[in-house]
């Protein structure tokens, strides 16, 4: 039986900010990063010395922090001024970092289930750098059991040769950072690529038979219009990718857009407001559904849900271990979360001394682990109560009775037997709604 809301008239949802102001909207982990502390780094050493819990998958993430240009909305740790010598040093030391991990008991004979090259721009690397890097990674932890190898690309960095190399090293999921198809919108937002490079690289990639090609879009870039957004969706459908990921534009503190706002004394970012961005994603999802895609999360639509998976996301959101290599990378091992040093030189210096470059850590309580998985899995649009009963011994509906009751009264949640499902309206604002599950001490007005 499906129930949406109690019989009385729906209560009004919490007041939502309409304008886009500065701060993080996207919830990437829980507890919030501001609760991860340097004095908890010793907990990492203990986690590395324990054998893995049975059945826990292992993944490897490598952050490639180099880009041709810095996009005005970018809040990642990236560098646009590093030469080949600096990049080679970085890659060699990232391999040393993997070496330090590969010898520790937490590996327990496991091989990675998934590998993810994120950035920054992994496709900024040359073919020889890629071959050398991945050859050494495979020697330390073989990829023969990997179900997925994801590689993020900026279209303007791809040639047919480089794509061939990317395919040959074993990449199975190619993710193209398209963001928008309009050259003026791309330029004004500081993107390095243009629309002709999108089409060229996409067609090269198709010819090489990558098992999965994903296209990233952003709803609400500076100077985005209704008409242009519809055209972006049309052009996406024309390319016919295996999956489409759509982010709603946010403006965190360390972006050029915010620096400009601050200089001009403005509180509102020069981008579409939240209701408009939600409407644009809703339009894109509806058009993709008409073309046979299925909505697989608050940000993704996939063409063939039986065949098209995202192992990295699904494993991490169910508590997989992750070795995060590279500057500012995030890891999770044996119940402890941690982040690497956030600046280039200190990161390299630590590894030159053969020390893991860890900056801050946190070992969440069992209750916080439960909330983490609930929050992250809700981004898929549905959670299974029996999964949480099995894994945490908790009756989800009783433990979060108040939060579920609110979500149902706002018409954002349906309870269908074991399945708790967000309505489309709820899914499009899931990052705002999941705060309802946070412990009181973690409820801040901004997610940091």
d(CA 21, CA 253): 10
Q: Positive or negative, the Cα torsion across 30, 33, 35, 41? A: positive
Task: Report the residue number, 67 or 171, with the smaller CB distance to ligand SF4.
Answer: 67
Phi, psi values for residue 415, rounded to 5°: -105, 120
Q: Which of 165, 217, 213, 212 is nearest to 191 (CA)?
A: 217
Q: Which stretch binds ligand SF4 (CB under 6 A): 118-126, 210-218, 247-255, 420-428?
A: 118-126
Q: How far is the CB of 147 from ligand SF4 (least distance, A)?
A: 25
Helix (H, G, I), strand (E, B) or coil at 444: coil
| 121 sits near ligand SF4 (criterion: CB under 6 A) | yes
| 154 sits near ligand SF4 (criterion: CB under 6 A) | yes
Backbone region of residue 45 per phi and psi (left: phi > 0; alpha: psi in -120 to 50; beta: other values): alpha
Q: Which stretch binds ligand SF4 (CB under 6 A): 21-29, 92-100, 114-122, 360-368?
A: 114-122
CA 170 to chain centre: 21
- What does the per-residue mask of binding to ligand SF4 show for 19-58, with x meaning CB under 6 A? ----------------------------------------
- What does the per-residue mask of binding to ligand SF4 show for 62-81, with x meaning CB under 6 A? -----x--xx--x-x-x---
CB atoms within 10 A of CB 352: 12
| 176 sits near ligand SF4 (criterion: CB under 6 A) | no
Residues 141 and 112 sit within 8 Å (Cβ to Cβ)? yes
Task: Report the residue number, 120 or 334, with the smaller CB distance to ligand SF4.
Answer: 120
Task: Report the residue number, 65 or 381, with the smaller CB distance to ligand SF4.
Answer: 65
Instruction: Note every long-range contact of 308-315, with CB atoms under 8 Å and residues 24 or more positions apart, other chains counting.
Output: 308/212, 308/242, 308/243, 309/147, 309/148, 310/148, 310/173, 310/243, 311/113, 311/114, 311/147, 311/148, 312/59, 312/61, 312/114, 312/116, 312/148, 312/150, 315/57, 315/59, 315/113, 315/114
Kindly state the tokens that stand for 431.
Answer: 């990052």
Q: How far is the CB of 86 from ligand SF4 (least distance, A)?
A: 16
Q: How far is the CB of 96 from ligand SF4 (least distance, A)?
A: 24
Residue nearest to ligand SF4 (CB): 74
Q: How far is the CB of 155 from ligand SF4 (least distance, A)?
A: 10
**Rg of the Cα atoms in the chain:** 22
Q: How far is the CB of 278 from ligand SF4 (least distance, A)?
A: 22
Kindly state the tokens that stand for 39.
Answer: 């004095």
Task: Report the residue number, 45 or 187, with the smaller CB distance to ligand SF4.
Answer: 187
Task: Report the residue number, 250 or 368, with the smaller CB distance to ligand SF4.
Answer: 250
Task: Report the residue number, 177 or 381, with the smaller CB distance to ligand SF4.
Answer: 177
Task: Report the residue number, 127 or 256, with the smaller CB distance to ligand SF4.
Answer: 256
| b/e map 297-331, b = 16+ CB within 10 Å | bbbbbbbeeeebbbbbbbbbbebbbbbbbbbbbbb
Q: How far is the CB of 254 from ligand SF4 (least distance, A)?
A: 11
Among 119, 220, 364, 426, binds ligand SF4 (CB under 6 A): 119
- What does the per-residue mask of binding to ligand SF4 show for 292-331, with x meaning CB under 6 A? ----------------------------------------
Contacts with ligand SF4, residue ranges (CB under 6 A): 67, 70-71, 74, 76, 78, 119-121, 154, 177
């Amino acid at each position: 039986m499906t129930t949406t809301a109690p019989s009385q008239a729906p209560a009004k949802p919490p007041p939502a900010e309409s304008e886009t102001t500065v701060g993080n909207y996207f919830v990437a982990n829980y507890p919030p990063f501001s609760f991860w502390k340097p004095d908890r780094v010793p907990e990492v050493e203990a986690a590395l010395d324990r054998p893995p819990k049975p059945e826990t998958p292992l993944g490897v993430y490598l952050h490639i922090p180099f880009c041709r240009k810095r996009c005005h909305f970018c809040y990642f740790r990236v560098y646009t001024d590093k030469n080949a010598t600096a990049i080679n040093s970085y890659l060699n030391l990232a391999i040393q970092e993997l070496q330090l991990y590969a010898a520790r008991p937490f590996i327990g004979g496991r091989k990675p289930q998934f590998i993810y090259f994120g950035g920054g721009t992994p496709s900024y690397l040359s073919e020889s750098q890629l071959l050398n890097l991945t050859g050494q990674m495979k020697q330390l932890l073989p990829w023969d059991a990997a179900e997925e190898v994801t590689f993020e690309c900026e279209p303007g960095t791809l040639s047919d040769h480089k794509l061939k190399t990317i395919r040959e090293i074993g990449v199975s999921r190619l993710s193209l950072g398209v963001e928008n198809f309009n050259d003026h919108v791309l330029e004004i937002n500081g993107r390095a690529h243009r629309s002709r490079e999108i089409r060229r690289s996409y067609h090269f990639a198709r010819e090489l038979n990558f098992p999965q090609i994903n296209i990233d879009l952003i709803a609400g870039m500076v100077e985005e219009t209704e008409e242009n957004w519809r055209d972006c969706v049309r052009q996406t459908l024309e390319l016919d990718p295996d999956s489409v990921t759509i982010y709603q534009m946010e403006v965190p503190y360390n972006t050029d857009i915010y620096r400009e706002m601050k200089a001009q004394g403005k509180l509102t970012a020069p981008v579409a407001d939240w209701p408009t961005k939600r409407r644009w994603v809703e339009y894109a999802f509806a058009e993709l559904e008409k073309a046979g895609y299925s909505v697989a999360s608050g940000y993704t639509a996939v063409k063939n849900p039986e065949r098209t998976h995202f192992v990295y996301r699904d494993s991490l959101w169910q508590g997989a271990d992750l070795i995060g290599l590279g500057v500012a990378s995030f890891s999770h091992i044996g119940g402890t979360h941690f982040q690497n040093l956030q600046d280039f030189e200190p990161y390299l210096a630590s590894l030159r001394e053969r020390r893991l470059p860890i900056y801050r850590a946190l070992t969440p309580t069992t209750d916080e682990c439960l909330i983490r998985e609930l929050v992250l899995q809700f981004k898929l649009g549905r959670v299974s109560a029996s999964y949480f009963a099995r894994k945490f011994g908790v009756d989800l509906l009783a433990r979060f009775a108040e939060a579920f009751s609110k979500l149902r009264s706002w018409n954002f949640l349906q309870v269908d037997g074991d399945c708790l499902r967000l309505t489309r309206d709820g899914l499009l604002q899931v990052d705002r709604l999941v705060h309802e599950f946070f412990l009181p001490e973690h409820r801040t007005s901004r997610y940091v």
